[in-house]
Amino acid sequence: MFELFISIRYLMAKRKQAFISIITAISVLGVMVGVMALVVVLSVMNGFRSDLMSKILGVNSHLLVMNFKGAFDGYEEAAAKIGGVQGIVGSTPFIYSQVMVNNAGNVSGAILRGINHGSADKGLNIESMVKEGSIGCLEEMSGEVPGIIVGRELMKRIGANLGDDITLLSPEGKLTPLGRTPNTKKFKVCGIFDSGMYEYDASMAYISLKEAQDFLGLGDRVTGLEIRVTDVYQTDSIAENIQEVLGYPFWTKDWKAMNRSLFSALKLEKITMFVILIMIVLVGALNIISTLVMVVMEKTRDVAILRAMGASAKSIMLVFVLQGLLVGIVGTVAGLASGLGICHLLAKYKFITLPSDIYYISTLPVRVELGDIWFVAFAAVLISFVATLYPSWRASRLNPVEAIRYE
* 36 and 143 part of one domain: no
Element (H, E) at 383: helix 370-396
Question: Whose CA is closest to 255, among 272, 282, 232, 283?
Answer: 232
Out of 222, 247, 272, a domain closes at: 247
* 315 and 348 part of one domain: yes
* 238 and 110 part of one domain: yes
* 236 and 278 part of one domain: no
* 242 and 295 part of one domain: no
Query: CA Rg, the chain, in Å?
Result: 32
What pLDDT, on a 0 to 100 scale, did the predictor assign at position 13? Answer: 58
Out of 223, 247, 271, a domain closes at: 247
* 230 and 124 part of one domain: yes
Concatenating the DSSP letter of every residue in 166-217 gives: EEEEEEEEEEETTEEEEEEEEEEEEEEE--S-HHHHTTEEEEEHHHHHHHHT
Instruction: Tell me the β-bridge partners of 191.
Output: 133, 149
Give dist(CA 234, CA 86) in Å, integer.
11
Range of the domain at 216: 69-247
Mean pLDDT of 86-107: 89
199 close to 191: Cβ distance less than 8 angstroms:
no
Mean pLDDT of 14-38: 81
Q: For the chain, what is the mean pLDDT? A: 85
pLDDT of 116 over the 80 cut: yes
* 232 and 160 part of one domain: yes
Number of separate domains in the chain: 2
What pLDDT, on a 0 to 100 scale, did the predictor assign at position 363? Answer: 81
What pLDDT, on a 0 to 100 scale, did the predictor assign at position 357? Answer: 64
For 340-350, what is each residue's pLDDT tens digit?
999 999 998 88
Confirm whether 253 is domain-assigned. Answer: no
What pLDDT, on a 0 to 100 scale, did the predictor assign at position 142? Answer: 62
Mean pLDDT of 48-52: 86
pLDDT of 393 over the 70 cut: yes
* 311 and 228 part of one domain: no
What pLDDT, on a 0 to 100 scale, did the predictor assign at position 325? Answer: 92
pLDDT of 130 over the 70 cut: yes
Q: What's the CA angle centered on 55, arms 157 and 165, to 5 degrees?
A: 30
Concatenating the DSSP letter of every residue in 324-344 gives: HHHHHHHHHHHHHHHHHHHHH
* 135 and 109 part of one domain: yes
* 77 and 13 part of one domain: no
What pLDDT, on a 0 to 100 scale, did the predictor assign at position 407? Answer: 59
